[in-house]
Amino acid sequence: MKAENYEVRPAHFDDIPEMCGLLSELFSIESDFRPDSQKQADGLGLLVGDRSGLSAVLVASDGNSVVGMCSVQTLISTAQGGPAGLVEDLIVREDCRGKGIGKKLLSEIIEWCVTKNISRVQFLRDIENLAAMEFYASNGWKDTKLVCMRRLL
């Protein structure tokens, strides 16, 4: 099945169990995170239920199953002088990769950003995830000199 046969649409609450499965796979790749279905379901519930207009969560579906997802949340950037987008949770089910679904999800997330006057998008990538680096580079994303630091509260 080709990418054009997969529908990309806003996520529904009913999609959350399948999205948790995808995030479990993603957080198994990223060594800073641990899969935890309850936490992922709680976070997705907040995102899917967000009516502020400041976030979007999209899924790719083959009509029966959710095979991919991506989210974006808005920040105010003083560097940009306006809204910027933090892209997260991009994953395509392993058996559906290489068909253009990731590209389609990302391009629809960017279209949403454009409608919100977002002038810069960024994401965090596990330093060892070289495949994701290749994917983003082939979609026109540039490296930065920023590194992520964090403190759990």
- Residues forming contacts to ligand COA in the complex (CB under 6 A) are 26, 29, 90-92, 97-103, 123, 125, 129, 131-132, 134-135, 138
The CA-based angle 128-130-136, given to 5 degrees, is: 125
| SS3 call for 135 | helix
Q: How far is the CB of 148 from ligand COA (least distance, A)?
A: 12
Q: How far is the CB of 26 from ligand COA (least distance, A)?
A: 5
* Residues 6+ away with beta carbon under 8 Å from 105: 8, 58, 60, 68, 69, 70, 90, 92
- Which residue's CB comes closest to ligand COA? 102
Do the bridges between strand 121-123 and strand 82-92 make them parallel or antiparallel, or are there none, so unpaired? parallel
Q: How far is the CB of 138 from ligand COA (least distance, A)?
A: 4
User: Which CB atom, from 82 or from 100, has the smaller least distance to ligand COA?
Assistant: 100
Q: How far is the CB of 57 from ligand COA (least distance, A)?
A: 15
User: Which CB atom, from 112 or from 123, has the smaller least distance to ligand COA?
Assistant: 123
User: Which CB atom, from 73 or from 129, has the smaller least distance to ligand COA?
Assistant: 129
CA dihedral 123, 48, 97, 62 (to 10 degrees): -160
Token output for 37? 């279905």
